[in-house]
Structure 1
Amino acid sequence: MTFIPFFILLFCAVPIALVLALTSLWYIWTSGNAVLFDSYPQQLFSAIDSYGLMAIPLFMLAGELMNEGGLTSRLINMSRILVGGFRGGLAYINLVANMMMAAIMGSAASQIAIMSRAMVPAMEKEGYDSAYAAAITAAGGLLSPIIPPSMLFVLYGVLAQVPIAEMFIAGILPGIIMSFLFFLVIAVIGLVQQYPKGEWPSRKQSVEFFLMGLPAGLIPVVIIGGILTGLATPTESAALASLGALLIGKYVYKDLELNHLPEILKRTALNSGMVVMLISAAGVFGWVVVYEQLPQAAAGWIAQQTSDPFTFLLMVIGVLILIGMVLDGIAALILVVPILLPIAQQQFGISPYQFGVVVCLTLVMGLLTPPVGAGLFIGSSMTGVPPMKIFRSLMPFLFATLVTLVLLAAIPELVTALI
């Protein structure tokens, strides 16, 4: 009975945070156990009572400051040194720049919005199909949940009670694998479509791009280096990245105006506030799910279907692709982890790191798949290309992502080797 009001509210387009909070209240009311009302505020607060969650608004702030301060454009120019001369050079530049931004922002939606503004017009000027340009930019957003830092990894670490720093490390090899597959896709499409050969920057330009991009390139070094060496927690690294982006944008590149800070902070507060509200409401919903013993019931059903960890993960991938098509990735993560993680660990002996990487990457695919596909609509609004045209051009990249997921499900060491 609990899920009847859940689906009614969901399909009435009620914000997902309210759907979760109201459904939980409905369960308490219909259970007849009025004592649970006393626990409701406590569960709302305890869901967000985590130091690790402070990393989310700080990474959002770092991304906003980088975009306003001109760091993004310098990173794009820096990537020209590495891949600018290949056939379809701007496509490679787009992907490399997205990899750099993924190591800073951690938010797929923000990354797609920023990189669409930065890259798609430039690709269109050089004769690239606008849908293809938008698709590469959207595909770059798929790198954000696994190349550290990642907001989904932060949230998963809190939900699964595993060290966030180790979750970040677990995403390094999968991020490299998926980037390599994306490069192959771009190479094949470039040959088939005969996109123009890029031009390598001259030696003078290369030196200029490198020196100008070096300060911006220090941001991901600070974030990842601090975490890997243990000198800083993910939250502290996010704070250092925000401070670094502010100082570099203001005093090195001199593109950041201090009078823009109130608007930047306002956008960051609104965006992170929505995420925190969602986490709080979902914490109560997760409490209801556990109280109704849904994980145990799901475990019993799955145990009847298979006893093989690889098959179980393939089932999870299939289910989460469907869930991701209709629910936001953060909301879906909060819903499925309390149900599926205990089954993965206790029934199948799957590492929480392997499970987390597979789940987070699968759910972000939903950002780029109809009918909801928020990433498609963000890319469309930024470029003017219809969402379904972007989706059709995006399909080779989604297939490469599926190949990555199958590899990660079959070979746990691809996730756990560096931990």
Structure 2
Amino acid sequence: MTFVFFLVLLFCAVPIALVLALTALWYIVTSDNTVLFSSYPQQLFGAIESYGLLAIPLFMLAGELMNEGGLTSRLINLARILVGGFRGGLAYINLVANMMMAAIMGSAASQIAIMSRAMVPAMEKEGYSGSYAAAITAAGGLLSPIIPPSMLFVLFGVLAQIPIAEMFIAGIVPGLLMSGLFFIVIAVIGLVQQYPAGQWPGRRQMKSYLLMGIPAGLIPMVIIGGILTGLATPTESAALASLAALLIGKYVYKDLKFSHLPEILKRTALNSGMVIMLISAAGVFGWVIVYEQIPQAAAAWIAQQTTDPFVFMLMVVGVLILVGMVIDGIAALILVVPILLPIAQQQFDISAYQFGVVVCLTLVMGLLTPPVGAGLFIGSSMTGIPPMKIFRSLLPFLLATLVTLILLSAFPQLSLMLL
């Protein structure tokens, strides 16, 4: 009966945070368990009593400040120096700029929105099809869950009770692997479609791009360098990145005005508030799941299907692709981790870091796949290109992502080699 109540709320388009909180409350009331009822408020607030969760609003703030302060356009020019001269140069520039933004923002949806406005009109002007330009930009959003920092990694670290800094490190090699596969896809499409040869910036222009791009490029170094060297926690790195974005945007590029700050802080508060509310509600829901011993029942069923860790990981990928198609990635992560992570660790001896990288990347694919495909609609609203046209152009990149997931499932060392 509780499961039916959950589905009714879900398909009535009730916000997912309320679905989780109300389903847990329904179960407690119908079970007539007074102990559970009295513990409900404690579990609701206990789920967000984690220092690591502070990184989420701080990374959101850093992204907002970067966009408002003109740092994004300088990162794009910096990418021109690195890859601008190859055939289909703007496509490579788009991807490299997305990699840089992924190392700052940690949010696929925000990254797609910002980069769509910045890159798609420029690519269309140089002869690229609008759907292909939007597809590359959307594909770049797939890098955000695995190139640190990542909000999904922060959340997974909290749910799995593992160090968030080490979770970030586990995503570096997978992120570079997937970026390499995306470069191959762009190269093949560029040759087939005969996209225009790129142009390297002139020496004077290159010097200008480099000088103006270095301050913006320092922010990913502050974030990742602080975490890798142990000088700062992910939360402290996020705070430093926000401060750096504010100072650079205001005093170096002079695009950021203090009058912009109230609106920036308002957007950050609203967006992070929704995420924190979802985490809180999911804490109660996960508590009920554990109380009902659902992970143990799921483990018993899966153990009957396979004893091979690789097959188990492929099963997880298949299920989560379907889940991600209809449920937001953060909500889905909160739902599946309490159930599947104990099975992965206890039944198959799979590292939490490998499992987290695969799960987070798989769920973000749902952002770009119908029927929901929020990332497709974000890209469409920013560019005016129909979502299904973007999706068709995106298929080679989704195939490359699937290849990455298979490799990560088969070879744990890809996620663990830097730990």
Q: Scaled by the length of structure 1, what TM-score is found?
A: 1.00
- Deviation digits for residues 266-286 of structure 1 (CA, Å, limit 9, x no counterpart): 000000000000000000000
- State the one-letter code of the partner of 1:106: G
Structure 2 CA distance for aligned equivalents of residues 281 and 137 of structure 1: 32
| Residue equivalent to 1:204 | 204
List gaps (5 residues or longer) in structure 1.
Answer: none
| TM superposition shift of 1:2 | 1.6
Are 2:408 and 1:408 equivalent residues in the alignment?
A: yes
- Fraction of identical pairs, as percent: 85
- State the one-letter code of the partner of 1:412: P
| Residue equivalent to 2:251 | 251
Structure 1 CA distance for aligned equivalents of residues 39 and 306 of structure 2: 37
Are 2:101 and 1:107 equivalent residues in the alignment?
A: no
| TM superposition shift of 1:164 | 0.2
| Residue equivalent to 1:24 | 24
| Residue equivalent to 1:188 | 188
Residues 33-182 of structure 1: pairs in structure 2 closer than 5 A: 33-182=33-182
List gaps (5 residues or longer) in structure 2.
Answer: none
| TM superposition shift of 1:31 | 0.6
Structure 2 CA distance for aligned equivalents of residues 325 and 39 of structure 1: 33
- Deviation digits for residues 326-350 of structure 1 (CA, Å, limit 9, x no counterpart): 0000000000000000000000000
Structure 2 CA distance for aligned equivalents of residues 332 and 292 of structure 1: 19
| TM superposition shift of 1:180 | 0.2
After TM superposition, the runs of 4+ consecutive aligned structure 1 residues lying more than 6 A away are: none
Structure 2 CA distance for aligned equivalents of residues 169 and 249 of structure 1: 28
| Residue equivalent to 2:312 | 312
- State the one-letter code of the partner of 1:182: F
Structure 1 CA distance for aligned equivalents of residues 2 and 233 of structure 2: 39
Structure 2 CA distance for aligned equivalents of residues 113 and 41 of structure 1: 36
| Residue equivalent to 2:384 | 384
- Deviation digits for residues 132-162 of structure 1 (CA, Å, limit 9, x no counterpart): 0000000000000000000000000000000
- Deviation digits for residues 277-298 of structure 1 (CA, Å, limit 9, x no counterpart): 0000000000011111100000
Structure 2 CA distance for aligned equivalents of residues 349 and 232 of structure 1: 31
Residues 330-341 of structure 1: pairs in structure 2 closer than 5 A: 330-341=330-341
Structure 2 CA distance for aligned equivalents of residues 264 and 226 of structure 1: 25
Q: Secondary structure at the residue paired with 2:361?
A: helix
Q: Secondary structure at the residue paired with 2:86?
A: coil
| Residue equivalent to 1:300 | 300
- State the one-letter code of the partner of 1:214: I
Structure 1 CA distance for aligned equivalents of residues 5 and 386 of structure 2: 34
| Residue equivalent to 2:217 | 217
| Residue equivalent to 1:264 | 264
| TM superposition shift of 1:225 | 0.3
| Residue equivalent to 1:230 | 230
| TM superposition shift of 1:32 | 1.2
| Residue equivalent to 2:364 | 364
Q: Secondary structure at the residue paired with 1:35?
A: helix
Structure 2 CA distance for aligned equivalents of residues 35 and 308 of structure 1: 40
Structure 2 CA distance for aligned equivalents of residues 85 and 257 of structure 1: 35
Structure 2 CA distance for aligned equivalents of residues 321 and 2 of structure 1: 24
- Deviation digits for residues 13-40 of structure 1 (CA, Å, limit 9, x no counterpart): 0000000000001000111112211100
Q: Secondary structure at the residue paired with 2:372?
A: coil
Structure 2 CA distance for aligned equivalents of residues 349 and 64 of structure 1: 40
- State the one-letter code of the partner of 2:158: V
- State the one-letter code of the partner of 1:257: K
Superposed CA RMSD in Å reads 0.4
Q: Secondary structure at the residue paired with 1:350?
A: coil
- Deviation digits for residues 83-129 of structure 1 (CA, Å, limit 9, x no counterpart): 00111100000000000000000000000000000000000100110
- Deviation digits for residues 318-377 of structure 1 (CA, Å, limit 9, x no counterpart): 000000000000000000000000000000000000000000000000000001111000
Structure 1 CA distance for aligned equivalents of residues 415 and 396 of structure 2: 23
Structure 1 CA distance for aligned equivalents of residues 46 and 185 of structure 2: 44
Structure 2 CA distance for aligned equivalents of residues 284 and 132 of structure 1: 42
| TM superposition shift of 1:256 | 0.2
| TM superposition shift of 1:82 | 0.5
- State the one-letter code of the partner of 2:42: Q
- State the one-letter code of the partner of 2:4: I
Structure 1 CA distance for aligned equivalents of residues 191 and 307 of structure 2: 44
Structure 2 CA distance for aligned equivalents of residues 314 and 208 of structure 1: 48
Q: Secondary structure at the residue paired with 1:371?
A: coil
Structure 1 CA distance for aligned equivalents of residues 313 and 300 of structure 2: 16
Residues 349-360 of structure 1: pairs in structure 2 closer than 5 A: 349-360=349-360
Structure 1 CA distance for aligned equivalents of residues 308 and 113 of structure 2: 40
| Residue equivalent to 1:273 | 273
- Deviation digits for residues 55-90 of structure 1 (CA, Å, limit 9, x no counterpart): 000000000000000000000000000100111100
